[in-house]
Amino acid sequence: MGRRKKGDKIDGWINLDKPLGLTSTQAMAKVRRILNAQKAGHAGTLDPLATGILPIALGEATKTIPFMQDRHKTYEFTVTWGERRDTDDSEGETLATSDVRPARDDVEAILADFTGVISQIPPRFSAIKIDGQRAYDLARDGEEVELKAREVFIESLELLEVRGNEADFVMTCGKGTYVRSLARDMAESLGTCGYVSALRRTRVGGFAQERAISLEKLEEMGDKAREALLPLVSALDDIPALALKEAEVAKLRNGQVVSFVSKPDFERIKAAGLENGQSAVAVFRDLPVALVERKGPNIQPVRVFNI
């Protein structure tokens, strides 16, 4: 007989506003403790020096984390000009200095170069693995860390304000984009040095700061903290939903393929807007049953929800 898991079975998402000074893992652990949940995960790491939206998945919602990680994210950040730091943020040691302070027109002139699909080398102090070890662990041990450039997508980049040694920006970007690398590269393009001195994530997909909740507020809610829980399907709001018949539910729950060969069945696929090779959430009476993928006339279960 297996050992009983500690905590309660809770399924859903918390749209957390992560405070300064906590790692994403620490913040997730605090949410799990407050709600007394058996299982938790987070979508999209935030550094301790960053604040803002950290989606926390609980229970069966952890199966939808990859979908949330792929969502576009929006950041507000400040770049301090005149210093290059080894971490590309305010925590690091100074590697170089510059007297150049770019004017607003100069900064605005380079924004287009950092919009769209761009090539970016991640920071040395990052969670990327090199031969099975995290880059930041190697960097802290004094080892040379060489990371390869990768393509990332920046949907929009706007300069908000310039003052003295600092400039404020807002950016919406795709998965894998490093704000610290962007600050470093913009500074270099402007003939100076720079690092991220403040960073806040204001949106991850449909999770926005306007509807986020703080750890402090969750603590205050006590036994009512679960009222802040969002549905599991919150991470799946932009993929098709396929309505199931009762007999199909059992098949998917058992990991079996469901064939949609009759004309009425095929019309259901068409009505859901589910293209061949595309993923969908299969639902029965408004409850999510499984993440599925269409393979021709067949619906293949990818992740089955135990709800």
| Residues forming the active site | 47
- Contact criterion met (CB below 8 Å) for 239 and 67: yes
Q: Cα–Cα distance between 150 and 139 in angstroms, integer?
A: 19
Q: Cα–Cα distance between 57 and 303 in angstroms, integer?
A: 15
- Contact criterion met (CB below 8 Å) for 252 and 243: no
Left (φ > 0), alpha (ψ -120 to 50) or beta: where does 67 sit? alpha
- The two three-digit tokens of residue 253, written as one number: 């729950």
Q: For residue 247, give the DSSP letter.
A: H
- For 87, residues 6+ apart whose C-beta sits below 8 A from its C-beta are 93, 123, 124, 125, 180, 195
Q: Cα–Cα distance between 71 and 176 in angstroms, integer?
A: 11
- Contact criterion met (CB below 8 Å) for 218 and 17: no
- The two three-digit tokens of residue 50, written as one number: 């960053």
Element (H, E) at 30: helix 24-35
Give CA separation, 106 vs 88, 96, 103, 198, 302, in Å. 21, 21, 5, 21, 49
